[in-house]
Structure 1
Amino acid sequence: MATLIPDYSACASRMTPGERRFAQRLESKLEDDYLCWYDVPIGQSMRHPDFMVLHPRRGLLILEVKDWKLDTIQSITRSDADQGAPEGNERRNHHTQIWSAVSDPYARIFLLSHMRAFTSLAGHIFGSHPQINGYYEMRISYEDASALGRQPEIFRQGDVLKPDSRYLFDKLLHNDYVLKPEQLGSVELKILVSLAEPTRTIRSIVHLFRQKPDPDLYASPLRAANYYVARLKALADFCRTAERGYRYFDAEMLQAAPERLLPKLSHWLELDSPLSERYQTFSQTGKAGRGDSSARIHGGRIDRTRVDYSHIAIPEDALSAAQAAYRECREQIVSGASDSVLNQGLSTLISQV
C-alpha cells in the first residue's frame, strides 16, 4: 500500500470527487515503496500539481486530475480541452485551459498604487490587450513563489486565459498585500508604480465608501487620509529597497493625457501592439471588491470628465500631512525609477509649494 502525504483523512475535505477517488486508488493499488504527495509546491515557480508519485527505481510522475468523462471530451491538446456536457437534448460546450503543473509560462505585471488612483481603468486597459490576462485586484500577497500559482487559479474562476498571451496582471493597493520580488524566483516581472495627488484622492475615497450600505472606516476623511499617507510611505519604502527595476507614472495621466502615457506603457511592457483608450468589460467589472463599482467603468473607453468631490471637507492637519507625504514619497519614487511619465503641470505646482 502506497503512502499518501498528507494523510488521506487530513486532505480529503479539500479534494474534488475525482481527486478523492484517485487518491484512494493510489493508496490501494501501488506497492509499499511508493510515496505520493497531494497538492504540494514544486519547481522554481512553486506550482501545486494535484499529485506527485515517487518510486525509488521507477522515478517521479506528476499528475493533474480532471473530473471529466471520456464521452464528454470533444477534443484535447497539450494545452486545451473542449468538452460537451449533456444537457437535455442539447450539448453545452466547455473550453478548458490545462495549466502546466511544472512550468509557469507567464511573466507578471504588478501595478503598485493606492485606492482611487484610476487603477480600475488601468486594469481594464491592460486586461483588454491580447497579451495580458487580469484586470482587477486579486488580493494576494506575493511573499513567495507559491503566490504565483494562486494568481491564475483565482483569475480562472471567472475568466479564461487568452491563447498565446504573455502576461498575468495584478494590482496591489493596500499594505495588507505585499510584493517581494526577490522571493519570486526567476519569473519575469514588470513593476509599475503610480500615485495620485492627495486632495482629490482622499475625497474620492470618502465619497466611495459613503455610498456603501454600511459605511466603512474610510468614509471618514481623517481615516481615508491616514490610509493614503501610510500607503505612500509603504510604496516609497518598497521602491527604496527594490532590487528589480520599476517604472513610475502620475496616475492623473491616464485620464488627462492617455495619448502620452499609453505609448510609454506599451513600450515598457514590450507589447506587440499598443494599448488603447478603448477597453473591454469582463466578468468581474463593476462588482464590489473588484475595483470601481460606478457606472463609468462600464463605458468602454477613457472618460476625461472630472468628477467634483469638493463638497467633502478634509481636516486641515490631515490634508497637510497627506500633501507632505505625497511630495516626499513621489520625489523619492521618481528619483529611483528607471523611467517615468509625469504630469508637468502637477510637477510645477508641487515645486511651488
Structure 2
Amino acid sequence: MIQALRETGKRSAGWLLSRTSDLYSYRNCVFILAHMRCGSTALSNILCSREDISGYGEAHVRYDGPGALGRLAINQMRRDGWRPGARLLFDKILHNRHDEQALPQFFDARAIFIARRPDEAIASIADLFTRLGRKAYDTPQKAAVYYAERIEALSDLWMRFPAHRRIGIRHDQLMRTPNEALERISRHLHFSPALRNEYISTAASRERGGGDPLVSGRHNRIEPNLLRRKVNLSCADLPAHLRARVDEAYRHLTAQFDSGHRIPIT
C-alpha cells in the first residue's frame, strides 16, 4: 500500500513538473538504449560531463505516460544529477520494463544503441551479479535469458526511431577506438561541440543501479584496449536453443546498425 502511494505521488509530481517547461519534450532528450555490461556507463559519463546535458546514468524511469520526463528530472534532482541550465535530458535504459510501453513521442529523442558480443556480455553480467551477491542474473543461463530478451527488444526499438535520430555502436568499437566512435555519434546526432573522450565519474553513476559499481570510478576516459578482468564463468554450457537465440539476436541487431550507417542524414 505504501509503495503504491509513493508511486502515485511520483507520477503526479512528474506530470506536474513536466508541464512547467519546454525542456520536457522528447526532442530534448538523449537516451542510451543498451543492455548491462556493454560500456554504457563510460559513454553515459562522457555525455553527462557536458554542461548542456542533465543526467548521471540509469534513472530506472518507466516511459509509459505523459509525466515520465518530469519523473526523470525529479530522479536527477534527488541523485545530484540535475543541471538546471542544460538543454538536453539524459537517461540510460537497460531493461525492457522501462521502455516496452514507450509513447510515440519517445521516438523523437536522440538514441544511441550499444550492443556487446553475447559470450562476453553474458559472462560479464553473471560475474558481476555473483561478485555483488545478487541472485537476479548470477548464472550464465539467467544472464543469457535477460540478454536475449533485451537485444530482441532493442531490435524492435531501433526500427521505431527515425534514421537521423539513432545510431548503433558495438562495444568493441567504443572500447578500442573511442575517439572514432565518439566522432561518429557526434556527427550523426549533431552534438556541437563534439563529444570528447573525457569524463567525471560521479557517485550517482556508480551507486544504487546508476551504472558500473566496480570499474567506472577508477577512470576519467575510455582507455583504448583496456584489459578487462577475465571472468571464470563460461557460456559454453548454455542450452543449444538459448545459445542460438543470443547469437541470432546479436547478429540481427548489429546488422541493423550496419545498415543504418548507409542511410543518409536528413
- How many pairs are equivalent? 251
Separation (CA, whole Å) in 2 of partners of 1:144 and 1:320: 35
Displacement after TM superposition at 1:133 (Å): 1.3
- Helix, strand or coil: the match of 1:149? helix
The residue that corresponds to 2:16 in the other structure is 48
User: What is the letter of the counterpart of residue 209 of structure 1?
Assistant: F
Separation (CA, whole Å) in 2 of partners of 1:274 and 1:286: 25
Specify which of 140, 147, 170 is matched with residue 250 of structure 1: 170
Specify which of 20, 23, 27 is matched with residue 101 of structure 1: 20
The residue that corresponds to 2:143 in the other structure is 224
The residue that corresponds to 1:63 in the other structure is none
1:113 matched to 2:34? The reply is: yes
The residue that corresponds to 2:154 in the other structure is 235
Separation (CA, whole Å) in 1 of partners of 2:190 and 2:91: 17
Taking a change above 3 Å as real, the CA distance of residues 188 and 250 of structure 1, as seen in their structure-2 partners, is same
Specify which of 192, 196, 209 is matched with residue 289 of structure 1: 209
CA contact (8 A) 1:240 1:336 kept: no
Higher strand share: 1
- Helix, strand or coil: the match of 2:98? coil
Separation (CA, whole Å) in 2 of partners of 1:332 and 1:159: 36
Specify which of 326, 338, 345 is matched with residue 250 of structure 2: 326
Displacement after TM superposition at 1:303 (Å): 2.8
Displacement after TM superposition at 1:297 (Å): 3.1
User: What is the letter of the counterpart of residue 251 of structure 2?
Assistant: R
The residue that corresponds to 2:75 in the other structure is 154
Identity among equivalent pairs (%): 24
- Helix, strand or coil: the match of 1:192? strand
Displacement after TM superposition at 1:175 (Å): 1.1
1:280 matched to 2:248? The reply is: no
1:265 matched to 2:233? The reply is: no
- Helix, strand or coil: the match of 1:218? coil
Within-5 A mapping of 1:51-90: none
- Helix, strand or coil: the match of 1:156? helix
Instruction: Please say which structure displays the higher CA radius of gyration.
Output: 1
Quick check: 240-249 or 323-332, which moved more? 240-249
Separation (CA, whole Å) in 1 of partners of 2:162 and 2:183: 26
So what's the TM-score if we normalise by structure 1?
Answer: 0.63
The residue that corresponds to 1:182 in the other structure is 104
Runs of 5+ unmatched residues, structure 1: 1-9, 16-38, 50-98, 341-353
Separation (CA, whole Å) in 1 of partners of 2:179 and 2:263: 17
Separation (CA, whole Å) in 1 of partners of 2:161 and 2:217: 32
